[in-house]
Amino acid sequence: MKLKSLLIPVLSLSIISTAEAQLLKKLKQKAEQAAERTILNKTDEIVAQKTEKTIDDVVDGDDGDSNESVSSKDSETSKSNAKFANPALENNTAAKRAWYTTDVRVTSYDKEKQSDMVCYFDADAIAMRSHFKDQNTGKPKTSYTDSDGYFISFNESENQYTKTALLAMPGMSMMAPSMMASAYKLPTGAVFGAFEEMDKQGLAVYPFMHVDFPFVLKPEHFRDEMNSSAYRESKQSCRGSLGCTKFSVLEAGYEGSYTLFDNQNRLVEINIYIKDDPFFGSGKGKIEYFYEDVEVKVPAAVEKKMPGQDLFKKGLDPKN
């Protein structure tokens, strides 16, 4: 499996593309015994539309400015004259605001396809807007993710926004973060620790996927006793600032992978380089984080449930 079939920046579950189908093939092998095949087929369709773009956009990193090729205007919202509503913000608001503390723009690049993706996270709305180009038509597209993990997109056939929470259900929500932690060689203890803490506080678990990482990862996670031998720490300048901290991966086959924090200990870059891994294959990619003011208005949307979704959710819930 090629690396581009796995890397998720995964805007996340809020990105629309086609490469994630390869990841789902792997995941389905593990999930088929736990759910009806019809549900998994629906999951394939959603993921192919939502998350694969993130995967492709992370590989073959390019240093270009993503704002130049992807419009930040919400073309679909203006086209449909949609009303705005963010009901998720009313749920467990204090805990969400304590967790998500800053706006951030996240970019990823796909040099091979000369395309890119931009995610805008608004800490006030606790919601994300994602911009990318449709793989089939080349037209700009927009999607949203709210703080309860709903993926929201414009349904052309119904001429309205629809939302689904299928991939935010128990069990499903941790698949992609787990895969990312492994592929990116991030401190797994920190990634899983955040999973447990988010669940404990009643938050959706990694609803924004790789865009959640700035609120999870800190330099001390790379320095603890368990991980200290896995990384080489060094100092360098970044984005015009001195004193940035770089943690280079030492594992064979992953040389060239690193995670970079600025002089305020904020995550600014995850660089991935994998050579001939038996599971992930080979490839390279980059995710960059920029801390700047962002505004996201979530369009009002009608929830669409897949056949058997409630039963599937019950089966995945560890409390049952």
Provide the residue-wise pLDDT of the chain in tens; the chain has 320 residues: 344 444 443 333 333 333 333 333 443 344 333 333 334 444 444 444 444 443 343 433 333 344 433 444 444 554 556 799 999 999 999 999 999 999 999 998 755 444 578 999 999 999 999 998 877 787 888 999 999 999 999 988 889 999 988 666 555 666 778 888 888 899 999 999 999 999 999 999 999 999 999 999 999 999 986 767 899 999 999 988 889 999 999 999 898 899 999 999 999 999 988 887 777 777 778 899 999 999 999 999 999 876 555 555 554 455 55
Question: Cα–Cα distance between 66 and 73 in angstroms, integer?
Answer: 14
| Residue 112, SS3 per DSSP | coil
- Residues 12 and 207 sit within 8 Å (Cβ to Cβ): no
Question: Cα–Cα distance between 169 and 89 in angstroms, integer?
Answer: 18
- What is the tally of helices (H) and strands (E) in the chain? 9, 12
Counted residue by residue, the chain has a size of 320
Count CB-CB contacts under 10 A for residue 84: 11
Angle subtended at Cα 281 by Cα 19 and Cα 63, rounded to the nearest 5 degrees: 65
Question: Cα–Cα distance between 69 and 118 in angstroms, integer?
Answer: 10
- Residues 161 and 129 sit within 8 Å (Cβ to Cβ): no
- Residues 292 and 275 sit within 8 Å (Cβ to Cβ): no
Question: Cα–Cα distance between 283 and 23 in angstroms, integer?
Answer: 15
- Residues 199 and 317 sit within 8 Å (Cβ to Cβ): no
